[in-house]
């Protein structure tokens, strides 16, 4: 059996390794457009910021290492067409320009996503994107060269935008952070976002929210300028962090169904609608177990699990049984300006859009027992469904290394636990780690009361 993998990052290489390991008779071939395989995309802001020294530090396994294990990896090789009937893919060597055919029995399409770059004057020409390790390396080199980068405009105030903004400030570079939304991080509710906005402003970031990008241009004095509907900001470089769009085109051309999310439709074994083609990672949509919809969530955690599931299905070894990817609950964490930001499930805004009747509570607690030195501050928010009390989401913005605490709420969301039951869970306590009532238990207790459910502790 010949497995061909398009895309050599988390999903692709996970599946490639698994199939290679489980089937002696498998020939595994990977084509990757970039120079690197299996790297941590999430680590790129730390490379840009200088926390990490070398691009190679972010690489889990290099093409050479995969080759040593018997997996064929072609880097700087782009897939340009899929023929699902003949089961072959036309690929192009990006250095030589040569094209050739790669046949397959099974094809895993793990082509990832590409940065969204709106069709506005000057963006394609002047904007940096930092979506791939190659791009991150390029940006790092520009900053290291000392070539007069004193002021950068970052467009997009999501995770990546905020992480890059902080990385730049840490390097002594001034930052304009621009987003059309009235708040940073659309994935958390406004009261939580405001905590981060204050922190970013305190750090010296010039925050330009509610401003719509219109152009990037060269100004009268020869320097670049970012133009919005409300102002014009000089910038030696412009970083576009406006999210990613799944690279579906090639698969869609081959007949693979694309969902309303814009990503590829797959079943829970990661099979596309075309026989012989699996897909995994940033390019697919996943079942959102909270909202009951299908969404495109671009995260390494999902890509890794989906790669495993696809690999097991492709390898089809009787001992492996069936593997099914259950879906996601929207768990995500980051650290910005000393604040941990963690979220899961629905925001209040999103629940309202979906017509789900919820109650939400917000309050502020501490990361250690209140009487301990440096007890920290944690802003907590939790949402539950009216009537049932089912936990539908939670958010934490806090100091004191609290991000991973969201995982309890993630498990509650994934299992449909109700707040009136959640308040009784045996969660840990000791003075260095919080009060005797864990913050999520307090949230569940407050929600039980807010929803008029019992028992009200």
Regarding 281 and contact with a copy of itself (CB under 8 A), the answer is no
**What part of residues 240-279 is at the interface with a copy of itself (CB under 8 A)?**
none
Q: Which stretch binds a copy of itself (CB under 8 A): 82-90, 93-101, 249-257, 295-303?
A: 295-303
Q: 162, 309, 382, 383: which one contacts a copy of itself (CB under 8 A)? A: 309
In contact, 127 and 215? CB cutoff 8 Å: no
Three-state DSSP class for 415?
Answer: helix
Each residue of 114-137: b (16+ CB within 10 Å) or e? ebeeeeeebbeebbbbbbbbebbb
DSSP secondary structure letter of residue 366: -
- Residue with smaller CB distance to a copy of itself, 153 or 367: 367
Instruction: Count other Cβ atoms within 10 Å, centred on residue 150.
Output: 12
Is residue 169 within 8 A of residue 155, CB to CB? The reply is no
Q: Examine residue 171 and tell whether it contacts a copy of itself (CB under 8 A).
A: no
Q: Which listed range, 185-193, 232-240, 250-258, 301-309, lies at the site for a copy of itself (CB under 8 A)?
A: 301-309
- Closer to a copy of itself at the Cβ: 115 or 434? 434
342 binds a copy of itself (CB under 8 A): yes
Using CB under 8 A as the binding rule, whether residue 424 contacts a copy of itself is answered as: yes
From residue 389, alpha-carbon distances to 67, 131, 417, 423, 453 in Å are: 52, 39, 8, 11, 7
Q: Which is nearer to a copy of itself, 147 or 432 (CB)?
A: 432
Q: Interior CA angle at 438 toward 432 and 444, to 5°?
A: 165
Please state the closest distance from residue 32 (CB atom) to a copy of itself, in A.
18
Torsions phi, psi of 119, nearest 5?
A: -80, 75
Smallest separation, CB 210 to a copy of itself (Å): 27
HEC sequence for 33-90: CCCCCCECHHHHHHHHHCCCCCHHHHECCCHHHHHHCCCEEECCEEEEEEECCCCEEE
Q: Among residues 6, 10, 165, 359, which is the contact residue for a copy of itself, using CB under 8 A?
A: 10
Only segment of 78-86, 190-198, 253-261, 296-304 that touches a copy of itself (CB under 8 A): 296-304
Closest CB to a copy of itself among 55 and 84?
A: 55
* Inter-residue contact 109 to 277 (CB < 8 Å): yes
Single out the catalytic residue among 42, 92, 232, 413.
Answer: 42
Distance CA 29, CA 72 (A): 5
Please confirm, yes or no, whether 256 is among the known catalytic residues.
no
Contact 187, 160 (CB under 8 A): no
- Tell me which residues in 84-123 interact with a copy of itself (CB under 8 A): none
Q: How many residues bind a copy of itself (CB under 8 A)?
A: 78
- Asked whether position 215 contacts a copy of itself by CB under 8 A, the answer is no
In the set 228, 247, 304, 366, which binds a copy of itself (CB under 8 A)? Answer: 304
Does position 187 bind a copy of itself by CB under 8 A?
A: no
d(CA 323, CA 341): 32
According to the binding rule CB under 8 A, does residue 24 interact with a copy of itself?
A: no
Binding segment for a copy of itself (CB under 8 A), chosen from 90-98, 125-133, 216-224, 406-414, is 406-414
> Does 326 participate in binding a copy of itself (rule CB under 8 A)?
yes
Q: Which of 421, 418, 424, 394 is nearest to 408 (CA)?
A: 394
If binding is defined by CB under 8 A, does position 407 make contact with a copy of itself?
A: yes
Question: CA 9, CA 29: separation in Å to the nearest integer?
Answer: 13
**Shortest distance (Å) from residue 376 CB to a copy of itself:** 10
- From residue 34 to residue 53, what is the string marking binding to a copy of itself with x (rule CB under 8 A)? ------x-xx--x----xx-
Q: Which residues make Cβ contacts (< 8 Å) with residue 42, sequence separation at least 6?
A: 300
CB 455, min distance to a copy of itself, A: 4
Helix 190-203 × helix 159-170 angle, to 10°: 20
**Cβ 326 to a copy of itself shortest distance, Å:** 5
Minimum Å gap between C-beta 422 and a copy of itself is 9
One residue of 405, 419, 442, 451 binding a copy of itself per CB under 8 A: 405
Residue 309 C-beta: closest distance to a copy of itself, Å: 7
Query: From the list 320, 352, 353, 363, which residue makes contact with a copy of itself (rule: CB under 8 A)?
Result: 320
Q: Which residue's CB is nearer to a copy of itself, number 274 or number 378?
A: 378
CA–CA gap between residue 80 and residue 75 (Å, rounded): 14
> Which residues, in sequence order, are bridge partners of residue 31?
6, 74
Closest approach of a copy of itself to the CB of residue 300, in Å: 5
Query: Measured in whole angstroms, how far is the alpha carbon of residue 208 from the centre of its chain?
Result: 23
Restricting to residues 383-402, name those near a copy of itself by CB under 8 A. 400-402
- Minimum CB–partner distance for residue 435 and a copy of itself (Å): 9
- Nearest in space to 168 (alpha carbons), one of 51, 49, 42: 49
Which residues have a catalytic role annotated? 42
């Amino acid at each position: 059996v010949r497995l061909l993998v398009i895309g050599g990052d988390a999903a692709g290489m996970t599946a490639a390794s698994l199939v290679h390991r489980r089937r002696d008779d498998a020939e595994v071939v990977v084509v990757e457009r970039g120079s690197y395989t299996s790297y941590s995309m999430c680590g790129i802001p730390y490379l840009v910021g200088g926390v990490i020294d070398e691009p190679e530090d972010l690489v889990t396994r290099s093409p050479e290492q995969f080759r040593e294990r018997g997996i064929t990896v072609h880097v700087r090789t782009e897939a340009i067409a899929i023929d699902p009937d003949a089961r072959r893919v036309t690929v192009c060597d990006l250095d030589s320009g040569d094209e050739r055919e790669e046949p397959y029995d099974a094809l895993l399409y793990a082509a990832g996503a590409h940065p969204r770059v709106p069709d506005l004057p000057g963006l394609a020409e002047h904007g940096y994107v930092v979506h791939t390790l190659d791009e991150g390396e390029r940006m790092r080199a520009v900053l290291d060269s000392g070539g007069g980068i004193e002021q950068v405009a970052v467009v997009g105030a999501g995770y990546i935008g905020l992480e890059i903004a902080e990385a730049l400030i840490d390097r002594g570079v001034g930052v304009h952070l621009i987003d059309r939304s009235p708040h940073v991080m659309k994935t958390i509710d406004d009261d939580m976002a405001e905590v981060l906005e204050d922190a970013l402003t305190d750090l010296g970031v010039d925050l330009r929210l509610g401003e719509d990008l219109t152009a990037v241009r060269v100004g009268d004095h020869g320097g670049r300028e970012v133009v919005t509907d409300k102002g014009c900001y000089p910038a030696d470089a412009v970083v576009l962090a406006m999210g990613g769009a799944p690279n579906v085109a090639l698969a869609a051309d081959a007949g693979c169904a694309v969902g309303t999310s814009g990503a590829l439709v797959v079943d829970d074994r990661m099979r596309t609608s075309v026989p012989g083609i699996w897909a995994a990672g940033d390019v697919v949509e996943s079942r959102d177990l909270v909202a009951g919809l299908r969404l495109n969530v671009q995260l390494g955690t999902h890509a890794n699990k989906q790669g495993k599931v696809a690999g097991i299905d492709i390898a089809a070894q009787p001992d492996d049984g069936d593997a099914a990817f259950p879906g996601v609950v929207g768990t995500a964490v980051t650290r910005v300006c000393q604040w941990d930001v963690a979220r899961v499930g629905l925001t209040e805004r999103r629940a309202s859009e979906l017509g789900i009747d919820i109650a939400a509570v917000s309050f502020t607690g501490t990361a250690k027992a209140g009487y301990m030195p440096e007890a920290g501050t944690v802003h907590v928010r939790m949402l539950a469904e009216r009537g049932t009390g089912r936990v539908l989401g939670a958010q934490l913005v806090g100091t004191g290394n609290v991000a991973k605490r969201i995982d309890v709420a993630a498990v509650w969301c994934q299992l449909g636990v109700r707040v009136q039951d959640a308040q009784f869970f045996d969660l840990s306590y000791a003075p260095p780690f919080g009060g005797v009532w864990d913050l999520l238990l307090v949230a569940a207790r407050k929600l039980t009361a807010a929803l008029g459910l019992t028992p009200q502790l």
